[in-house]
Amino acid sequence: MDLSSYAQMAVRLVNTAAGVDTETDQLGTTGAFRVFLDDDQQLRGPWTHHDLDALQMLRAELTAIFTAAAERDHGAAAERLNALLVQYPVRPVLVRHDRSGWHLHLDDSGSVADRYAAGAVCGLAMAVTQFGMNHLGICAIPGCRGAFVNLGPSRVSRYCPKHSPAKVNVTAFRNHRRPASGYPATTAVG
């Protein structure tokens, strides 16, 4: 079971909300939902409006978990995550393919929403148990509501996938060098 890909499913779902990654809700229409599903190889198959509704509700729950983690209310985040683990049980299966050894995948039975939810919730729970609740959060960029999960054992990230630390450092450097006139500073002499 690839911890990072399953945990990133939770991030991806939260970041579909309007105003996070785009100005429109990426689950707001059936066409947008179809595009969302087509981007994920694990979610092939028929879907219904129930799947769309279920993933919109799951998105709200996952957003609350990331928000609680960002606010350091780890008890509330864990309580919500535990409730989702009960609601979306994981059915692991042992598989072997592409010259790889035996490893775990999630069973692909059930609705599209149930499969997505089980993967996202399990991945998030595994990330918390391996790295800690401090590795979940909401982007530190003012006005950004993007979620992130940092799956590295060292430094804890504070930025969503859209705002990497390198981009933040470049922006801060440019703003620091900008003179009061608002025009970029120049290093040209003469």
pLDDT of 48-100, one tens digit each?
899 999 999 999 999 999 999 999 999 999 999 999 999 998 888 898 988 88
Distances (CA, A) of 176 to 135, 143, 170, 172, 182: 29, 20, 10, 6, 11
Please state, in angstroms and rounded to a whole number, the distance separating the CA atoms of residues 141 and 132: 22
Return all residues near 72 (Cβ < 8 A) that are at least 6 apart: none
Please state, in angstroms and rounded to a whole number, the distance separating the CA atoms of residues 154 and 150: 9
pLDDT band at 2 (very low <50, low <70, confident <90, very high): low
What percentage of the chain carries pLDDT values higher than 70? 79
| Averaged pLDDT, 125-153 | 88
Please state, in angstroms and rounded to a whole number, the distance separating the CA atoms of residues 110 and 142: 39
Return all residues near 22 (Cβ < 8 A) that are at least 6 apart: none
Name the nearest CA neighbour of 10 among 174, 150, 141. Answer: 150
Please state, in angstroms and rounded to a whole number, the distance separating the CA atoms of residues 25 and 35: 12
pLDDT given for residue 73 in this prediction: 97
| Averaged pLDDT, 25-33 | 88
pLDDT given for residue 1 in this prediction: 57
Tokens of residue 29, six digits: 């229409």
Residue 183 pLDDT greater than 50, yes or no: no
CATH superfamily of 3-160: Jann2411-like domain (1.10.3300.10)
Distances (CA, A) of 54 to 27, 33, 82, 86, 87: 11, 12, 18, 15, 12
Tokens of residue 149, six digits: 């999960």
Mean pLDDT of the chain: 82
What pTM, to 2 d.p., does this model score? 0.79
